[in-house]
Structure 1
Amino acid sequence: MSHSKPQLGLWQVVLFGLAYMTPIIVLGTFGVLAVVSEGAVSGAYAAALIAMLFTAHSYGRMASAYPVAGSAYAYVRHAINDRLGFMAGWAILLDYLFLPMVIWLIGAAYLHSAFPSVPVPVWLIAFIAVTTFINIIGLKLASLVNSVLMLVQVLVIAAFVALAVHYVLGDPSQPLWSLTPFLGSADSPQMPLLMAGAAVACYSFLGFDAVTTLTEETRDAERTLPRAILLITLLGGLIFILVSYFVQLAAPGYQFANADAAAYEIARNIGGDVFVSIFLIGLVVGQFASGIAAQASGSRLLYAMGRDGVLSTRLLGRLGRFGTPTGGLILSGVVALLALTMDVLSAASFINFGAFLAFALVNLSVIAHYYIKQGRRGLADSLYFLVAPTIGLLAILWLMASLDRSALMLGGIWLACGLAWLAWLTRGFRQATPELSLEG
């Protein structure tokens, strides 16, 4: 197998990671977060950022130890054991399989707000059909316009913040500095609401670890990737906090006609009909591009699992006539139809369950690899390889416990299915766990 020559530097990797996270998602999910946190969206993002920074540190340490594709799956398999690694891979599959569904659901909700005569299911099915068709044909066109789509997102976000500031300055009773976007109203129990909001806000951080797939293309990957992962998480979190702060000032409280598309209502209030159209175009473009990337990534994982016999080889382990994993793409589209019975909050929370499980196992992997196996127990090493990942683990478990009951129930069912499938693959755990290769 031929490998690409390392050519990416630190900031090129950082920009890739930020683009993958889709910064405009902070506007797409604003209303949902405002409702869950009762008007403390910035505080929810700040709490999520703190938790994510510790987990990002753990991802960086493991990327340095095992510079291979596979992310959490590979780290847990090598650092702890293959069965737990399989469950980490199963958790990742939950994210990859259902992430496109949430992306398309958000886009459909906003289009429905703009064109209420067209039902959400029509927009949702259109998103699924068009994106799946493009991915089956190939991604050359999407790759060519990717940087343009990122620029559109940045410009729309900048315009939204500028108009929000202008709107706030036009109201003498509303100061430009306030703790309310961080703490919510004084009569609400702040910490439980903040953690519930943070548990949902972590959805915006999904993909910060995607740069681990660029290991072979990155110069000095063992040093560059850990720094890039931390920078992506920090910069992304600061963008989310800053944008949500000014938007929350312009739209205090958490009462919206449609929480799933609240930013559309806010855009009309602060910028009028012309800007709301520009905002809608920017958000839909961002969601469309993000949906293409998420579905393509998910189908690649499904193809790898089918090729290696972890899932059905006949259905998922073969490429179609265009050289793309058609089976995985179609399965992703079919799964996304579940969005017809879900809202953004429940769908995002369900996905976060899988992410939190993978994050928790990566934090454990740092302790197992460095502190236990390598015996690195000096003062500095203990801080890096025991204290920091333990804090990350506890923070993730707290966030997981803050998810709504339906997400925990559905997540538990997903885990039970994974465990049952692993038992079947290993003939009651008597045979070796199948190894999953994510090299291509």
Structure 2
Amino acid sequence: MNQLQQTPEAGPEGSTQMHRVLGLPNLVLFGMVYMVPLTIFSTYGIVTEITGGRLPVAYTITLLAMLFTARSYGLMSKAFPVGGSAYVYTQRSFGANLGFMAGWALLLDYLFLPMINYLLLGIYLNEFFPAVPPWAFMLAGMLLVTILNVIGIVSVARTNIVIIGFQFLFIILFIGFSIAYLRGQGSVDLMAPLRGTGEVSGFAPLAAGAAILCLSFLGFDSITTFAEEARNPKRDLPRAILLTTLICGLLFIALAYVSHLVYPSHQFENADSASIQVVFTAGGQFLSIFFTAGFICGAMGSALVSQASVSRILFSMGRDGVLPNRVFGYLHPRFKTPTFAIIIVSIISLTSLFASLEMVSAMISFGALVAFSAVNLAVIKYFFLAHRQRGTAAAFNYLVLPLIGLVLTIWLWTSLSALSLVIGIIWIVIGLAYLAYVTGGFRRSAPMLDLAE
């Protein structure tokens, strides 16, 4: 058997063994719920203005860029089919200390994604029920998400089916209403969404728009955090990662294309709420209300999956001993879920009651791009350098393709705001200080679980 396929499966037996109940369809659903199919409408107006109405083309560029990093995640998840995502992959490729720092940066993405969803939940529901303050909806959402996560991964998977089903129902209705609307408009220029309005041209605006759209793809990596609850992680994780990226990417392109046919302009009264103009044009007040309900449903689903994901990263770090094991490395004896980690994430999410969308978005962007960079580098280090996979095919798979993914990720760094960089650097400094404490001033390596146990 090939040496690279002999990596032992999930950690020690007994109290640290989770229930392996997730198949390929469930893993794909987790990724899609995390990414939220309707997320296209959150940046629709902004990127349409930047690209001059060429949003489908910008999404195509983004999808091609993300596939390289998604492939790197798939390779590493096959080599190390355990929870922990970029934390474990970097740890096993570059050592415990760098692994901890990758995991620490990744926490920015995973810890604060539930917060942004709770913020959206409060904002949108308050629009429908202005007598109820946003914080009340946010607290109710946190409580429901926490309970479902503690009960177990099966309850989360079942809820995901309902959430993704509701969003697909809206998508079907939107496309149906859009076709009916376009039929009443006479001739339709089918190339307009690809050509744009003509007022903005060149590749540079498309590249700028594609960089923003990368935020729509955050979530395919979350699938790797459920490795220890997958029935066949070595086979299903790589497939689920690529399928999720492709399905959501193609869905984003299709929705962007249809939306521009319905509303063939890149001028909006308010770019932040441009999607409401598009949806109202296609289906009136009924479809607008259905869209809001679907968006709320998507926010709840993303909060549910993101809390499940980050609790498993914290569990991996606690099981290693780099975080307090008795707290973060604890599994509920009946539900086999990292209960304390789930509750701690909920407590941290309470800060969303006082945070702004801009600040939380900045944190998420920085953490995600650090993880993307680390995983692309891990493929090169683990396969090409450490295991000396040679030959033309190996060099292409384990050096050239991950290098392309790395270069594209570095390109995305250039789109980060100053706020993102400042918050990210502060977070990294805090992580370094904690690592120095754990390692006695870097005189020893951070603790690391023996996967052969």
Question: What TM-score do the two structures reach when normalised by structure 2?
Answer: 0.82
Alpha-carbon spacing, 1:339–1:274, altered in 2? closer, same or farther (3 Å): same
Q: How many Å apart are 1:385 and its aligned residue?
A: 0.9
Asked if structure 2 preserves the Cα contact closer than 8 Å seen for 1:28 and 1:283, the reply is no
Asked if structure 2 preserves the Cα contact closer than 8 Å seen for 1:196 and 1:403, the reply is no
Query: Hey, what's the Cα distance between the residues in 2 that align with 1:110 and 1:170?
Result: 32
Identify the match of residue 302 of structure 1 among 314, 323, 328: 314
Q: How many Å apart are 1:384 and its aligned residue?
A: 0.7
Query: Hey, what's the Cα distance between the residues in 2 that align with 1:67 and 1:322?
Result: 23
Q: How does 1:215-364 map to 2 (within 5 A)?
A: 215=227, 221-251=233-263, 252-253=265-266, 255-257=268-270, 259=272, 261-306=273-318, 308-311=320-323, 325-326=339-340, 328-338=342-352, 340-343=354-357, 347-364=360-377
Query: Hey, what's the Cα distance between the residues in 1 that align with 2:299 and 2:50?
Result: 22
Q: Within the alignment, does 1:395 sit opposite 2:408 as a pair?
A: yes
Query: Hey, what's the Cα distance between the residues in 2 that align with 1:413 and 1:300?
Result: 24
Q: How many Å apart are 1:58 and its aligned residue?
A: 0.9
Identify the match of residue 427 of structure 1 among 440, 443, 448: 440
Structure 1 unaligned regions, length at least 5: none
Query: Hey, what's the Cα distance between the residues in 2 that align with 1:64 and 1:299?
Result: 21
Asked if structure 1 preserves the Cα contact closer than 8 Å seen for 2:116 and 2:361, the reply is yes
Q: Within the alignment, does 1:151 sit opposite 2:193 as a pair?
A: no
Query: Hey, what's the Cα distance between the residues in 1 that align with 2:84 and 2:450?
Result: 7
Q: How many Å apart are 1:198 and its aligned residue?
A: 2.8
Structure 2 unaligned regions, length at least 5: 1-12
The percentage of counterpart residues that share the same residue type is 40
User: What do residues 346-380 of structure 1 show as CA deviations (whole Å, max 9, x unaligned)?
Assistant: 53343121111111111111111121122223111
Superposed CA RMSD: 3.5
Asked if structure 2 preserves the Cα contact closer than 8 Å seen for 1:76 and 1:365, the reply is yes
Asked if structure 1 preserves the Cα contact closer than 8 Å seen for 2:55 and 2:193, the reply is no
Q: How many Å apart are 1:389 and its aligned residue?
A: 0.5
Query: Hey, what's the Cα distance between the residues in 1 that align with 2:243 and 2:332?
Result: 38
Alpha-carbon spacing, 1:268–1:329, altered in 2? closer, same or farther (3 Å): farther
Asked if structure 2 preserves the Cα contact closer than 8 Å seen for 1:18 and 1:208, the reply is yes
Q: Which moves more between the two structures, 236-245 or 390-399?
A: 236-245
Asked if structure 2 preserves the Cα contact closer than 8 Å seen for 1:303 and 1:325, the reply is no
Which AA in structure 1 matches 2:311? S
Alpha-carbon spacing, 1:177–1:39, altered in 2? closer, same or farther (3 Å): closer
Alpha-carbon spacing, 1:248–1:125, altered in 2? closer, same or farther (3 Å): farther
Asked if structure 2 preserves the Cα contact closer than 8 Å seen for 1:98 and 1:332, the reply is no
Which AA in structure 1 matches 2:262? A
Query: Hey, what's the Cα distance between the residues in 1 that align with 2:172 and 2:68?
Result: 29
Alpha-carbon spacing, 1:386–1:413, altered in 2? closer, same or farther (3 Å): same
Asked if structure 2 preserves the Cα contact closer than 8 Å seen for 1:8 and 1:219, the reply is yes
Which AA in structure 2 matches 1:69? G
Q: 1:101: which partner in 2?
A: 115
Q: How many Å apart are 1:391 and its aligned residue?
A: 0.3
Aligned residue for 2:37, secondary structure, equals coil
User: What do residues 129-171 of structure 1 show as CA deviations (whole Å, max 9, x unaligned)?
Assistant: 5544655677775554432222111111221233234334433
Q: Between Structure 1 and Structure 2, how many residues are aligned?
A: 435
